[in-house]
Amino acid sequence: MLIQAAPTPLMRTRDSGDYTMNSGSCLSTSTMAIPTITGSSAALSACSSSNTSAHPASFTGTQICFPKRQDKVKKRVIWGIEVAEELQWKGWALGKEVTKNLTLKNLSLKIQKMKYRSPKTKFFFTVIPQPILLSPGITFTLPIIFRPLEKKEYVDQLWFEKAEGMFCVDLRATLPCHSLTCPRSLQLPACAVGDVTEAWFCLENVGDLPTFFTWEFPSPFQILPTTGLLEPGQASCIKVTFHPLMATIYEIQATCWYGEGSKQKRSMQLQAMAKCAQLLVSIKQKRPEDQDAEGFQKVLHFGSVAVGCTAERQIKLYNPSMVSAPFRIEVAPDMLAKDHTFSCPTTNGIVPPGEKKFVSVFFHPETLDIRTIDYLSIMPSGCASHTLLKVVGFCRGPEVSLQHCCVNFGWVNLGETLEQTLWIENKSDCTAYFQFAIDCQESVFDIRPAFGALVGKARMTLHCTFQPTHPTIYSRRVTCLIHHQDPLFLDLIGTCHSDSTKPAILRPQHLAWYRTHLARGLTLYPPDILGTMLREKKLEQDKNGALLIPTEALENVSAPQYPLISPMNEYFFDGTSDIAIFPPPVSIEPTDVDFGACPGPGDPNPVPLCLMNHTKGKITVVWTRRSDCPFWVTPDTCDVPPLKSMAMRLHFHPPYPNCLYAVELEAFVVYKVLQNYHNIEEDCTVCPSWCLTLRTRGHSYFAALEPHIPQYSLDAPKLFPAVSPSEPSYRSLLLINKGSMLLTFNLAPQSSSDISLRPSSGLVAPGAHQIFLICTYPKGNAWKQHIFYLQFNFCPQYLKEVSMQSREEPLHLKLDTCKSVFFKPTWVGSSSSSLFTFRNPSRLPLEFEWRVSQQHRKMLAVHPARGLIQPSESLTVTWTFSPLKETKYLFRVGMWVWEAGLPPDTKPPATTHYMLRLVGMGITSKLSAKEKELDFGNLLVNSKQSRLLVLLNDSNCTLYYRLFLEQCSPEVMDDSPLALQMDRTEGRMPPRSQDTICLSACPNRRSQYSWIISYSLLSHRDNKAGEKQELCHVFLTAVYPLLSILDVCSMGSAEGITRKHLWRLFSLDRLNSYLERDPTPEELTYKHKPDPHRLHPSEARLQFWSSTDRGPALCGAPGPEEHWSSTPGLGVPLPK
């Protein structure tokens, strides 16, 4: 029984005693493969059965065998008798008798009578022959005995005789042998180049011995298993794979060797066809921006996408061919794999014939305000061709703004509280996370809410509260940190009065004056000194009221103004670090204090602080302290002399055990003289207070206890943005506390020293978030890794490693073709072009400029000569070569590259120079005609005829030509069109090619026409035609139908008149001269249309009548002296 996925039905044949398959096994001589889809290839079944076998899904070369099948006795019906065709003896031994029964059955409806003869040889015998009578439906069994004496094959016949005739049954005894059968041919389905198809067939052992087999086959076919062993009657399922590398029709022969010494063979013809796969790439739901201006590749434009969001677009792959088209999609290699903002999850697949497949491409930007470009290559199997898809996207971030940049609380009495509102708005459509960098619980200013998330196109109201603790001037510039956006700044100012102390009232104008004084170096002087200098004319006031130093000796030098400082630079270089834009008037060290573990029972030792006064005036320091704060500074108020320092102490007293503590303390520093408004004579000398902040933290966990496990999420980028050389690079990070308990953080000491993270420590409430800003100075063109660690909840086990990379972007381009451009040979006076492609591998947009020397500009041009190339973009420029003489040219052209975005008329600080080698050759050439003389032959007047003029370009360059037509004869009448016209007069001929011009002739009078066709080669440089040169001559003869009398004869009663007399009698010479004349206009009323099917001469009969008769008149009547008499029956044979 054949083992299959589903049982095969079995049946018993009549009286044979053998079991056979209803499907007929696998013994057909030619088998057609039936394709079934398995994975990426077509699996094929070659078994010629009605029930398709289920083959395994995967095949690793293991031989699949079918069990032995019993021999089947083939039977036939002769004259109503069913009998076996042949009896075979197998597996016999010498000296032993083997008996087989021959069965005869009467299938007819009458009694059958027959007799038989004994076999001729002595090795086969049976019972003594006797007549056999078989009634309808009766079976007769005749035993036949085989007695071998030698080890050889025996053949004999047993004859039966009936009234209708004789028939025989073959008797055969065979020796054990090796014999395998397989299909003579196997047709595999069509396959794409580079793809794989499969087919299956059965190899069966029909011999008597176990047989080893080995297959030999050429490429691109493969047969599995290649070798194996088959027992007698066993069949093996063989797989044939077809992996073509060329598109052609394959007809090859596979050979199976078997038997003793593998000397026997069985051949099978393998037939398959390989075709090139073809994929048509288009964009689903195409937008207007999905097109490239230069048309070099398809463009998939995502438009503007919010940072951190993912946009999806689809491309359509259509397979117009008749084979399945496997394909793969590759993203162009970038400078760093982590920087891929475009992704295509479908890296490979199959498009069935005539079907289409949609592939998704995703854009996930992470860098703000960057136009990102990348390239996808869609390659069908075989890599014969590929489609380059340019993907473009722009990243947009939040657009957060404040209603006001300053909140002025005015003056308030000690113990009172004032509140004002302003709104914060997000004009973008993406969510914005914001946070004000202020500890509202430990400050005189309070902003509610201090953090939050603004959805797109939303506005939120902020409540600002002022609750002073001492009578003094308060001014604090609060930073609003925004994830994926530069920070904003909010100035909070107010003045507190008490019964005994009434400082000068601070107004927003004082902040503007202070910034101007800061740029002019006047903020280190107290107001009293500035007032004195103003009175003594050592200082002046500008048009805005700010103070300035007189510059009489330098009249053309304007007073310094406060510079335009980027928000990131202002935040990082505010004077709290080693680098500052302006030196701080007052500083404190340290600015970050960690008490660590303070479980008790006593308070930890105070930490010494040092406050330094860098000004030239006495200052007053006021610390803000809430009653329940576990941290405080002593003394809380003090005066510091000019250019002196003051020692202070920071105390920590945790009120509860097993708790985390982290606060930001603030102190306000003001000139002593400002504490009484009576001391201020000039309002422009009023200086705002300076706010000092001190971050401190600690915890009260015992050593045996560990803080709770932090639960958070951290949105951290992998790369720093690209910046100009020597410029800092910034990124923002977002930490969200997803737990239900407080979360403290601090920058671990083992972090990289070349980065700056702010804030470096702090506390995050449950459900709140913390925004970090990180800064570094990229150095070197190689990627550098920056690793820093965030420690949470004062526990060394709770470390988060963050790795980022940066580099100084190189100002270089990647040029193709080894910096060389070659032009094809060009005709002197014409032009040829060549494309040159270069790519920007950096992450900065670059500007470039080609500089062609003045002496070469007539011969060499480039478009565009200057332009902008975006990061990762490939740009193609067109070089045009116009030789001036016949020679070989070698040019060297420079290209300068610098960073884009510089102000106009600004010299680039750094440029990169490239040299490009261009090679061209100028040659001279000419056109020629295949036929120097073109003859139209005879042509009827006012009829049309066309001929083709073949032009030849035997040179190695492309020629642009213009044709001219000049009529030589007859003379051209004024304003009359030429009788010869050309379908076009200009064209372009590639090297070693030919072109055809259609000439149409239509003569309007009978004459001999001749024309001269000349040409001139066109110059693309000045759009002028060169010298005219003769190309060919054209001839034409314009004629009317000619009727002439060639012979004359008499008939009837005038039969006796001679031909000569008749010719003279009728004046036929004069008649012929009349017939040769041009027709008159009246005679041209009916135009003659020649019959192309009648090319042989024709005969016409002319009947002549007397001029007095009323019969038809002759063409061209005779003169007065002429008289033609007519005779009945006179005929004149005429040619056509």
Q: For 240-298, write each residue's pLDDT tens digit.
A: 999 999 999 999 999 999 988 888 889 999 999 999 888 899 888 888 877 765 555 68
Pair 837, 816: CB distance under 8 Å: yes
CA dihedral 915, 920, 922, 923 (to 10 degrees): 170
d(CA 1105, CA 1120): 16
d(CA 80, CA 160): 13
Cis peptide before 333 (omega within 30 of 0): no
- pLDDT at position 55 is 40
Pair 407, 492: CB distance under 8 Å: yes
Q: What is the CATH number of domain 814-920?
A: 2.60.40.10
Sequence-ordered list of residues with C-beta below 8 angstroms from that of 580, at least 6 positions apart, any chain: 573, 574
- Say how many residues make up the chain: 1136
- pLDDT at position 1087 is 54
- pLDDT at position 646 is 95
Q: Which pair of structure tokens corresponds to residue 957?
A: 């360059």
Among 930, 924, 923, smallest CA distance to 1013 is for: 930
- pLDDT at position 338 is 55
In what helix (H) or strand (E) does residue 532 lie, and over which residues does it extend?
Answer: helix 527-535
| Second-level CATH architecture of 708-808 | Sandwich (2.60)
Q: What is the mean pLDDT of each run of 10 residues along the chain (1136 residues)?
A: 32 35 33 36 35 38 55 81 86 83 88 87 85 87 87 88 88 86 93 92 89 93 92 90 92 92 90 90 85 68 90 93 90 62 90 93 88 89 80 92 96 94 94 95 95 94 96 96 96 95 94 95 94 92 90 68 93 87 93 90 90 96 92 95 96 92 96 92 93 94 87 94 90 95 93 93 94 94 93 92 92 84 90 91 92 92 93 91 92 93 80 92 91 92 92 90 90 80 91 93 90 88 77 92 84 81 87 83 61 47 47 38 38 39
- pLDDT at position 69 is 55
d(CA 444, CA 492): 10
Cβ burial, residue 590 (10 Å; 0-12/13-18/19+): middle
- pLDDT at position 67 is 57
Pair 281, 378: CB distance under 8 Å: yes
> DSSP for 274-331?
EE----EEEETT--TT-S-SS-SSEEEEEEEEETT--EEEEEEEE--SSS-EEEEEEE
Pair 863, 834: CB distance under 8 Å: no
Q: Do 10-70+178-258 and 280-396 fold alike per CATH? A: yes
Superfamily grouping for domain 400-548 = Immunoglobulins (2.60.40.10)
Superfamily grouping for domain 928-1039 = Immunoglobulins (2.60.40.10)
Q: Which pair of structure tokens corresponds to residue 502?
A: 């009434």
Among 1099, 1113, 1044, smallest CA distance to 1076 is for: 1044
d(CA 475, CA 581): 20
| Distance from chain centroid for Cα 390 | 5
d(CA 747, CA 731): 16
Domain 91-173 - what CATH class? mainly beta
User: Where along the chain do its domains lie?
Assistant: 10-70+178-258, 91-173, 280-396, 400-548, 708-808, 814-920, 928-1039, 1043-1136
pLDDT in tens, 853-873: 999 998 999 999 999 999 988
Domain 280-396 - what CATH class? mainly beta
- pLDDT at position 788 is 95
CA dihedral 67, 73, 76, 78 (to 10 degrees): -170
| Second-level CATH architecture of 10-70+178-258 | Sandwich (2.60)
d(CA 225, CA 222): 9
